[in-house]
Amino acid sequence: MQKWRHLLGVSLTALSLAATAGVAHATDGYFVEGATARDQSLAGAGSADPTESLTIANNPAGLVDVGRQFNGDISLFMPWRGYDASANSALIAPGSYNSERNAFVLPALGYSQPFGPDSAWGVGMVGNGGMNTTYSANIPHAACGFFGFPQQGVFCGGRAGVDLNQGLIYVGYAQRFGNVDLGIAPVLAIQTFSAYGLGAFGAFGLSQSPNFVSDHSPSYSVGAGVRAGAIYHYSPALTFSVQGSTPIWTSNFANYQGLFAQGGSFDVPATIGAGLAYKFMPTFTVMLDYKHIFYSGVASISNAMAPIGIATMGSANGPGFGWKDVDIVALGLEWAYSDRLTLRAGYSYSTNPVTSANVMLNVLAPGTVTSHIGAGFSYAVTQNSAFDFSMLYAPRVGVSGEEYIPPAIGGPPGGYVPGTNINTWLSELEITLGYTYHWDTPVAVVAKY
């Protein structure tokens, strides 16, 4: 047992570092739709019907309901993103261009163990989300020569883009009080960020720290917060859940203090959510979930892009991506077709955080998708172990708006340029393979015909 716990701890630490070293996710804004194959096949539903140890990353109250088990999942995430800019755009390169690097890998691990019949603990590591764009250095931009920049590219700085990656480590405890489960899980965040090709914003004097805007090595940040939840078992067929997380307060990205508001601050937003699960039959469950993400609580994300003035970037009220809070509704269906095979499907809709007034900067962070369609299955190879599979697809959605020219570049008065148009867009496909091992043999629910 001691060797197993040591190995689990080492694995969680190693994989959390791997998750922040070059992985990107972007679904509900930039938050993942779910940590596991089951979560994703249900399109994020299921908080009121926990079956896996990685419930700790959604509703830690569920730890008391899942027994002793291990979960391991690995996702192949494929985002396609880009922008289209009208021919009279000046600051951003005109034309239609796709971001490169369209495949990323993300691991997740979880372990839960009961203390007794009415309490349990667990640990988990998940990728919370992230964002990546990588635009070629060879994108032609006639304005670069006019402004005196030797390079081409989206913003006359060669290869342009960002890499944001967030990994979360949870340690949680849950207790049952009659028909109510309560759970709490402190969380440690490890995140990295890098930006490249954005030097023009510093060169024009738009940042209060012009040497810390772009083209530095990845900057690391750590922080902590708390996730908690409750599950109410109204009857054997009907359960309700509530859950949420405080903001995860993190250290600043020191290498990018001239890019992000508040000197490089980039906390993880708070969330709240609720759900219900109803078993129409012992083998068929319908799940409905709601979640709200408070992007407005993080200045670097929510501050409006404009106006961008002299030495405003990196300041307390400096420009951000202008993202709005996001509301998500998810519907999931799960059918135990046999004692070995369980089928799942789900659909979710989220409001769009990106607005037309902030499109120009959001070519770097096009979190524009709104619909997610999931499907998957679990297949039990033994009484104690099962493989899980899911596919989650988000159709292409774009947001359009006028180009914004800062006064330092366009001369007074600067501002939005009538007649210009920038459309930034995103679509996604995620394929996840998972493995679950139960030490306690679960009770088989067999379909009756």
CATH number at residue 256: 2.40.160.60
And the tokens for 286? 């319908």
Q: With the C-alpha atoms ordered 37, 40, 41, 44, is the resulting torsion angle positive or negative? A: positive
Contact 344, 42 (CB under 8 A): yes
- pLDDT for 331: 98
- What's the rounded Cα separation, in Å, for the pair 221 and 217? 13
Residue 274 located in a structural domain: yes
Residue 405 located in a structural domain: yes
C-alpha neighbours within 13 Å on the C-beta side of residue 51: 22
Spell out the per-residue pLDDT of the chain, length 449, in tens.
444 344 334 344 444 444 444 444 446 788 888 889 999 999 999 999 999 999 999 999 999 999 999 999 999 999 999 999 998 888 899 999 999 988 888 899 999 999 988 999 999 999 887 788 999 999 999 888 888 888 899 999 999 999 999 999 999 999 999 999 999 999 999 999 999 999 888 888 889 999 999 999 899 999 999 999 999 999 999 999 999 999 999 999 999 999 999 999 999 999 999 999 999 999 999 999 999 999 999 999 999 988 888 888 999 889 999 999 999 999 999 999 999 999 999 999 999 999 999 999 999 999 999 999 999 999 999 999 999 999 999 999 999 999 998 877 665 567 898 999 999 999 999 999 999 999 986 444 444 43
Nearest-CA neighbor of 61 among 131, 133, 118, 141?
118
Residue 447 located in a structural domain: no
And the tokens for 442? 């679960």
Residues 6+ apart with CB under 8 A from 231: 48, 50, 59, 61, 62, 65, 180, 181, 239, 240, 241
Range of the domain at 24: 2-438
Per the listing, tokens 């994989």 go with: 15
And the tokens for 191? 């995140």
Q: 177 exposed, middle or buried (CB, 10 Å; 0-12, 13-18, 19+)?
A: exposed
Our count of domains for the chain comes to 1
And the tokens for 167? 């990994």
Residue 47 located in a structural domain: yes
Report the alpha-carbon angle 82-303-202, nearest 5: 70
C-alpha neighbours within 13 Å on the C-beta side of residue 431: 3
Provide Rg for the chain, Cα atoms.
23
First-residue to last-residue Cα distance in the chain: 43
Residue 394 located in a structural domain: yes
Per the listing, tokens 């755009």 go with: 89
Report the alpha-carbon angle 354-360-364, nearest 5: 75
Residues in the chain: 449
Write the secondary structure of the chain as one string of H (helix), E (strand) and C (coil).
Answer: CHHHHHHHHHHHHHHHHHHCCCCCCCCECCECCCCCHHHHHCCCCCCCCCCCHHHHHCCHHHHHHCCCEEEEEEEEEEEEEEEEECCCCCCCCCEEEECCCCCEEEEEEEEEEEEECCEEEEEEEEEEEEEEEEECCCCCCCHHHHHCCCCCCCCCCCCEEEEEEEEEEEEEEEEEECCEEEEEEEEEEEEEEEEECCHHHHHCCCECCHHHCCCCCCEEEEEEEEEEEEEEECCCCEEEEEEEECCEEECCCHHHCCCCHHHHCCCECCEEEEEEEEEEECCEEEEEEEEEECHHHCHHHHCCCCCCCCCCECCCCCCCCCCCCEEEEEEEEEEECCCCEEEEEEEEEECCCCCHHHHHHHCCCCCCCCEEEEEEEEEECCCCEEEEEEEEEEEEEEEEECCEECHHHHCCCCEECCCCCEEEEEEEEEEEEEEEEECCCCCCCCCCC
Q: Can you name the residues that pair with 219 across neighbouring β-strands? A: 193
And the tokens for 228? 């908690």
Residue 448 located in a structural domain: no
And the tokens for 238? 């009907």
Residue 310 located in a structural domain: yes
Nearest-CA neighbor of 414 among 319, 276, 325?
319
Contact 153, 161 (CB under 8 A): no
Distance of CA 60 to the CA centre of its chain: 19
- pLDDT for 309: 83
- pLDDT for 299: 94
- What's the rounded Cα separation, in Å, for the pair 303 and 323? 7
Contact 128, 268 (CB under 8 A): yes
Residue 443 located in a structural domain: no
- pLDDT for 9: 43
Residue type, 389: F
